[in-house]
Chain A
Amino acid sequence: MVNMEPSMKESINIKVEFKGGLEMLFDNKLSLDINSKDIEEYLKKQETKTEKLRMLDLINYLSTLIKPNERDLFVDDKRLRAGILVLINDTDWELEGEGEHELEDKESICFISTLHGG
């Protein structure tokens, strides 16, 4: 029960993987190591304040790494595009609260595109 609320000052590291063609959007990188500080910085720019980092924040942060004209292929109205599966530590994210899931240290998050042609 220690460390229930990771304080904003302590940064956490998350591993993000891309499969099913999504890597094409991220310079063909199959995985990225994300530090929570980067997400927080992005949120600051957006002037949105959240006490805890959620999946939705990660998704919106990731979309900034994509070329502007291709962002629609990953996010759709600030929501993850339909047809992309998400696994949080090998568990369907629908069981983990989807976009509201709070990110934790050393979590592995996998995005898989099931769309035709990647």
Chain B
Amino acid sequence: MSMYHQHRIKGRQQKYDNVEVFHIDESSLFKDAQEAKARDLISKYGFKTITAKLEDVFQETNSDFFTNVSIDDSAIEHKNKYPTSESPEKRSNALTHLFDQIKTYTAKEDMLDSIKAYLIVHAAQQNDCSVIAVGDSATRIAVKTIGYTSQGRGFSLPLDVGVSNRWFEGINIIRPMKDMLGKEVGYFNHCMGIDTAIVPTFTTRAPQKASIDRLTESLIVGLDRDFPSTISTIGRTAGKLEVTRKAIESPQCPLCGMPSEADSIEWRKMLSVSSLGDEEAMQNTTTPLIRAMCYSCQNTMRDVKPDAGLLPSFVNERSQNKAHNSQSLLKKQIESFLID
């Protein structure tokens, strides 16, 4: 998370006249998160800050769930827009309950990433931001490239690690720090006296084999120590990946929001030794939802116990709305033939 703040500060160059910092409060999931310190750090730079809490995704109407903290005014305005009918504790409980019911750290991290990705895109849409700058360093991109590939996320990989991602309508997700090594960022922060706030993840202080992401990270930074070009080689190779037309035309995965390859269930039967658990579970009501998900999110859902309760409401919204991207594509194609 601390990376998120720093990269946004970089947006200070004149290229963009208006920069807003989006911050996700993860303290309901991670009690050790230095939330107050994080907010303090952001407020130092004087940008307008939008804050969302992770549990906000458990709201029925998602239209206005952000807590706005405007630091433009000298007095910090802390406006709470939650409808009074729903208690924050209820949402927080739903969130912790969902994560308690996920069996593996890998699936937990995936779920968390999906929720955060949704919150970020949603915040951009609500605040009319056309560009989202995320703070993935070269090291992080290399870890993501290998980690996502091994998790079966190859179909959307060019979008997940590419320098620019226009998958979400009207929004361009850029990675301005893609050429900076984690080491360089570390030294820069140290030399410039930039403080960091630590937001732990599920695998903080956990052994290296705790999750695929953790394992990939130790593999890559370990390799890079003895072969210092490892990270940039992975990054440059991944940079050559192009988004296929098939991916652009695919429906959106309800969970991660990325393109979902059709017939992934059949695919799995033919090519993979893994299954989605017992056939009986596959027959239950969630099956259409699972079918709409991408291969990797299906794997994630396999590790979610059936009594996990509700998934965030955006999952359902997206599954009902799955044609939105392909429809807009069609509209674009026939645009020139339309008469105003």
Contact = CB atoms under 8 A, between A and B. Distances in A.
A9 interface: no
Interface in A44-91: 70, 72-73, 76, 81-83, 85, 87, 90
A8 interface: no
A21 B200 CA distance: 9
B101 interface: no
A61 B217 CA distance: 26
Most buried by A among B139, B182, B214: B182
Interface stretch (B86-94, B186-194, B328-336): B186-194
Nearest to B143: A116
Contacts of A90: 190-191
Nearest to B222: A82
Contacts of A82: 218, 221-222, 224-225
Interface residues of B, number: 31
A24 B34 CA distance: 12
A81 B214 CA distance: 13
13 contacts: A20-B196, A82-B222, A83-B218, A83-B222, A114-B183, A114-B185, A114-B186, A116-B201, A116-B203, A116-B217, A117-B202, A118-B198, A118-B205
Q: Which 3 residue pairs of A and B lie closest in terms of their CB atoms, listed nearest first?
A: A117-B201, A83-B221, A114-B182
Given A112-B189, A117-B202, 20 more contacts: A19-B190, A21-B200, A24-B204, A70-B205, A72-B207, A72-B208, A76-B222, A81-B218, A82-B222, A82-B225, A85-B183, A92-B187, A114-B139, A114-B185, A116-B203, A116-B213, A116-B217, A117-B199, A117-B201, A118-B200
Interface of A: 19-21, 24-25, 70, 72-73, 76, 81-83, 85, 87, 90, 92, 110, 112, 114-118
